[in-house]
Structure 1
C-alpha cells in the first residue's frame, strides 16, 4: 500500500508551519490558568488537530493493488412461443423452469453472472411464462448474448426450446459467430411419425384484375413413402382446384403450383392450400396454410421527384412498387414530367417547387422529405442549418390520423439517424407521428407530421436518409415488409381522400387473428374544415349480413374505433357520418388472417438444435438430462481467472480520522474547561 497527495507536498509543510504558529500563539505565553506542563499538553493537542486537518485538506489517497475473481456471464433463454405447448403441459413446464432457475441461482449464483431472459418474436423477460408468442426468433437470445459477451471463453448460452425458428436472423449463422458454447435443452415429441406439412406458400400479394394469380407451395412428407397426397386450393371456403402427387421417399420435399384466373374478382380474397389428411397422421394442424391476395382494378400513379439522385428514392420506389400495385415515375428537377394528367400521389425529396410544378401537382396528396432545398406551402422551415443534424425517430403513441405496426413504436428509437436541416418545424400536437431523439435525448421537435391542406392529406419527414431504415428493418426482421408496410400506411393515408371527399376512414386491410382492428376517421364540413361536431357510426358485415353496429369515439381532432376478438374471415363495413341534416357514407373491407406459424411442427427439432450446439462447441440434451448442462458449467468455472485491480481510497473517507479529530479537540476543550479557562 502507498499514499499520495493530490496537492504538492510543499503546501503540507506550509500548513504544518501555520499549525505550529497558531498553537504557539495560544500556549507559548504563561497563563494564570495553566502551568507549563499543561500548556505543553494543550499546545500538543491543538497542534496535532490542526496538522490532521491540514493533512486531510491535502486530499491524501491510499493506493493498493488487489486481486479479484472474474465471474463469466451465462445467458439462459426460455422459449415463450405457443408451439411449446403442443406436447407440453403449461403448468408442468412453468414449474420445471422455476425450479431450474431457483436451483441454478443457488448453485451457480456466486460463480457466474446469470442473465435470465425469455424470447418469442423478440426478447422478453424470463418471468413472462405465458407461451402465447406467435413467432419464434432463436436469433434474439443469440444476438443478445453476442452483445454481452467478452473474450472470456468460459461464457455460454443456454436455450430451453422446442428448436423451431420461424422469424428473424439465421440462428445457425449467429451461433458460428458467437465463439462461445451454446447448450440446448429441447422439448417436444422426439418420435418420427408420419407427417405431411405445408412448409411455405409463395404468391403475389397483389394482382390486377384479369391477370393470373400464381401460387406455389412447398410441401414436406415424412414416413409416407408410397402414398398419394391430394392438395386443394380453396377461395373463400370453396374448393377451386386440386392436384394429386405421389410420394417416392421417406423424407420428401415437393413443390405444387396453381395458376388461378382472377376473372372479375375484386378486393381482398382469402385463400387456403390444404393437404388432405393422410393415413397414419396424428397431427394435421400443419396440413393447411391460409393467405390473402388483393385483386386490384386500378393502379395509382405516383411521382417520385428529387432535386438529385438519392438512395431514399430507390427505397421508396421498391416499397411502392411492391406487388406491382402502383405506377411509379422517378424524375429529377431538370426532368419534371411533362404529363397532361395529374398523378394520384407525389413525393418531393429535397425538392423546391417551381410555379410549373406547383400547377401540375395542385391539390395532389404529397409526401415531403425535407432537405436543405425544400419549400412547403404553409410550413416555416427557417432557419436552415448549414450542416445537417443527426436525429432518430421516437413514435408518438397518441398519434391518431392513421395506425402503424407495433414494431415501430417499440423499435424506432434504435433506427439509424437521418439528417435534418430544419430544427424548428412547427406542427399541431395531434399531427405529430414522430418526434426527434438528438444525441440520445428525447425532444418534442417534430420529425414526421401529417396534416390536411384544404382537406388534402399531406405528410412530411423532416430529414433525409430513410433508406437506412429499410436496411435496418431488413437486418432486424429478415424482410423488407416492416419498412414497406410503414411506407404503405403513409400512402394509404395520402390516398384515402379523393377531391371534395368529406369523410375518410383509415384502417388495416389485413389483421392477424387476436389483434384489434383500429379505424381512424376524419370528417369535414362544407368548407372542408375538420370538424368533431359529427356523429360517426360503423356497421360491420360478414357475408352481407350485419354483425354489429359501433359508434366512434372522439380522439384528439379526429375519431377512432377499435374492434377486438373477430374470427378469421372477410369483413366489410359502412361508416356513416351525420353532420346536422347531412349524411355522408363511405365503405371498405378487411380480412382477419389466421396466424399459423406456431402450429406447423409436431415434433422437436432435435437435428437443428444438435447442429446449432455442435457448431459452437456445446451440445444438446433433453429435459431429463439437465444435469449434463450443470456438469458442463462446473467445468467452465473450474479454471479461475484473477485480475489485478488498483484500488484507490481517499483517507478522508476513513471514519476514524474524524473520530480522532473529535477526541483531540474534545480533550483540549475538557482540560481548558476543568482549569477554569472557559
Structure 2
C-alpha cells in the first residue's frame, strides 16, 4: 500500500467522522449515550463506504511447510529378471513405501525406467532396452527447482542412449545408486559387437566385422564361426589371455542368391561359462539385384550437395554422384534419377538430354537460381520473377498421400533461403511442405511432387537444406529421421510404379532389439487418402502356424501397427481394408536377440562414478538400511518453510459489505426503538 493511498484513507476517516458528528452531535442538542452510539455507527458506515471507493490493495502472506521430494527410479528392463533380481528390487521398493520416517520427511515419488520413463511403482520387468541417461534428462526437467535426492535402483547396464555417467554431471540432484545384480567377476567370452550392412548386391561379397572380448585370468582357446542354417560358412580359431583380451575379425561372405538370408555368428563358450547368451548373435542380409544410381548436378560448390549425397547413401541400395552438367550429359544413361541443384542457363544441355532420355528429377532452387531460364524449359510450373530474397520456414501438409511422411518437427527447423514469389502449376501436384514467412503461415508451395503418367518430379524452393539435417540431429540425437524423409522422397522419384490404393511399408527383417512397425496408406477411388477405412493385419508364424490379427491405428496421414510383442520367427502377413475388401500380402523375419541378456554382472564402477558426480553415495541391497539412515540424517534434505504473498483488492472482501449492512441495520433499529424515526 503506497503513501498516497494511506493519506486517502486518513482523509476518508476524517471526512466520515465530521459527517457523523455533524448529523448526530452538531445538529442535535441532546448528548445522550444513544447519540454517541449512533454517531459511532454512522462514522463506521461512512468510513467503510469511502474505503471501498478508494479500494486499496492489501498484501496477504501465508506460510506453509514444503517437504523435499525423494525420487525412486527403478530399472524396469528385462535384464533385472535375467539377473534374478526381481525380488531384490521389489523388496527395496516395498521397504521404502513402508518406512514411516521416510514418508514423514519426504514426499515419495516412484518412477520406472527402461527405454522410457513412467510415473509408477508397479514393475513388470518387460522393457526391451535400458536408457539411464534418458531417465536423468527427464527427471532433471521435472525437479529442476526442487530438492529431490534420487535413489537409482539398477544393475547399471545401459543398452542405448548417451553415456549416463556423463549425463549425471548435469543432473542437479544427489543420486544414491542401489546396485542390484551379481558383482562377482566370472570368466566370460562375449561377442561384443557385430557390424554388417543391411543389403548386399547379387554376385558381390558383403563384409562382416565381429568384435570379441574376454574377461578372465587364464589363457583360453576357442573358435569363432558363422553359420547359415546348419552349414558353417566361416570358421577361425582364436586365443585370449588376461592382457590380450579382445579381437576384431573382418571377413567377407558371398551373395550368390537373391532374397533374405539369416546367419548366426557364434563364439564357442568356455567350460562352465555362466552366461552363454552373449556368445552368439543372429543377423540377416537381403541380397538385391538392383541399385539406384542418382546424379546430383550443380555448377558450384554448396554444403547441400555433400549433405544430399550423405543422406541418400545411408541406404546401401542407393549411390549418389556429384557432377557438373557436361559429365551428367555424357553419362545420363547410367542414372535412374537426377537432382538439379539451382539450375541456370548453363543447364540447357541437361534439359535437352532429359527430353531425349526422360529421368525423374528433383529440382532444388535457391538464391542463385535463374528463374527466367527455368520457366522457359519447364512445362509443369512457372515461378514469379522477383529478385527479392526471402527466408522460408516449413509447415508439413498432413494430407499429403503419395508416400508416408516421416515424423519430423519441420517448424523447429531453420529457414531455407530462396527467391520471393509464388509457384504456379500447370499439371496435377501435391504439396509436401507449405511456406511460413515469419509468423505467417501460407498455402504457398515450398516442396511439392508432380506426376504425369509414369514421369515424376519434385521441386524444393530453398537452399541450405544441410541446416535441416543438422537440426534434426539436435532434436533426435540421430540423423535417421531426416535421412528417412529424404530416402522416401528419393524412392518415390526413382520409382516408376503406378500408384496403388493400398500401400504397405515394412522391412524384410527386424532385429530382435528394435521395434517392429508396419505402416500403411489407404486411398479412395480418386486416390485421396481415406482416414475412415478399417485396416486389419493378419500375421502368420510360418514355423508354428499360429495366426494373430491386429488393427491398425490412424497416425496423421497413415495407419500404423506395432508388432514388437511377436517372438523371433519367420512371418507372412496380409493387410486387409475391411470396407473395400482390398488386401496386400508380404513376408518379414524377426531375428532372435535380446540385448538385455548380454550382461553377466552389474556395472558397479559406472554407478559409483554417477554417485560421486552428484555428491551421492553407492549402496547395495544388504546395506540398504544404511541408505535410509543417511537420507534421514542428511541436513541437505530439510523441510523448508515457504510463504506466498497475494495482493487482494479491498472491494473483494465481502465481509466489509456485511459490516456496512450491519451498521446501517443497527442504526435504524436503535433510532426506531428510541422513537427517532
Distance 1:440 1:125 in 2: 37
Q: Counterpart in 1 of 2:648?
A: 650
Q: Counterpart in 1 of 2:178?
A: 185
Q: Counterpart in 2 of 1:292?
A: 284
Matches within 5 A, 1:47-196: 47-62=43-58, 74-88=70-84, 90=86, 92=87, 95-96=90-91, 98-103=93-98, 106-109=100-103, 111-112=105-106, 114-127=108-121, 129-147=123-141, 156-178=149-171, 181-196=174-189
Q: Counterpart in 2 of 1:600?
A: 598
The alpha carbon displacement at 1:121 in A equals 1.8
Distance 2:118 2:404 in 1: 24
Matches within 5 A, 1:265-276: 265-276=257-268
Deviations 1:33-62 (A, max 9, x none): x99865664454233223223334444345
Shift in CA distance, 566/615, structure 1 to aligned 2, threshold 3 Å: closer
TM-score using structure 2 length: 0.74
Moved more, 162-171 or 58-67: 58-67
Contact 1:506 1:520 in 2 (8 A): yes
SS at match of 2:320: strand
Shift in CA distance, 75/440, structure 1 to aligned 2, threshold 3 Å: farther
Distance 1:587 1:128 in 2: 39
Distance 1:320 1:79 in 2: 38
Shift in CA distance, 494/80, structure 1 to aligned 2, threshold 3 Å: farther
The alpha carbon displacement at 1:288 in A equals 1.0
Q: Counterpart in 2 of 1:216?
A: 209
Counting matched residue pairs gives 652
Moved more, 236-245 or 516-525: 516-525
Deviations 1:631-653 (A, max 9, x none): 33234335759788684543736
Matches within 5 A, 1:211-290: 211-223=204-216, 225-235=218-228, 238-249=231-242, 252-262=245-255, 264-290=256-282
Moved more, 174-183 or 344-353: 344-353
Distance 1:99 1:402 in 2: 50
The alpha carbon displacement at 1:215 in A equals 1.1
Q: Where do 5+ consecutive residues of structure 1 fail to align?
A: none
Distance 1:537 1:147 in 2: 39
Q: Where do 5+ consecutive residues of structure 2 fail to align?
A: 425-429
Q: CA RMSD in A?
A: 5.8
The alpha carbon displacement at 1:96 in A equals 2.5
Shift in CA distance, 137/546, structure 1 to aligned 2, threshold 3 Å: closer
Distance 1:438 1:635 in 2: 58
The alpha carbon displacement at 1:663 in A equals 2.9
Distance 1:50 1:75 in 2: 58
Shift in CA distance, 23/381, structure 1 to aligned 2, threshold 3 Å: farther
Shift in CA distance, 483/654, structure 1 to aligned 2, threshold 3 Å: same
TM-score using structure 1 length: 0.74
Matches within 5 A, 1:508-547: 508-509=506-507, 510-513=509-512, 516=516, 518=518, 520=520
The alpha carbon displacement at 1:65 in A equals 8.5
Q: Counterpart in 1 of 2:660?
A: 661
Moved more, 606-615 or 584-593: 584-593
Shift in CA distance, 505/221, structure 1 to aligned 2, threshold 3 Å: same
Moved more, 314-323 or 412-421: 412-421
Distance 1:381 1:100 in 2: 72
2:336 to 344, 357, 372: 344
Contact 1:138 1:165 in 2 (8 A): yes
SS at match of 2:245: strand
Distance 1:369 1:110 in 2: 66
Shift in CA distance, 382/659, structure 1 to aligned 2, threshold 3 Å: farther
Contact 2:432 2:448 in 1 (8 A): yes
Matches within 5 A, 1:548-587: 564=563, 567-569=567-569
Contact 2:224 2:236 in 1 (8 A): yes
The alpha carbon displacement at 1:274 in A equals 1.2
SS at match of 2:632: helix
SS at match of 1:620: coil
Distance 2:107 2:536 in 1: 56
Q: Counterpart in 2 of 1:498?
A: 496
The alpha carbon displacement at 1:164 in A equals 0.5
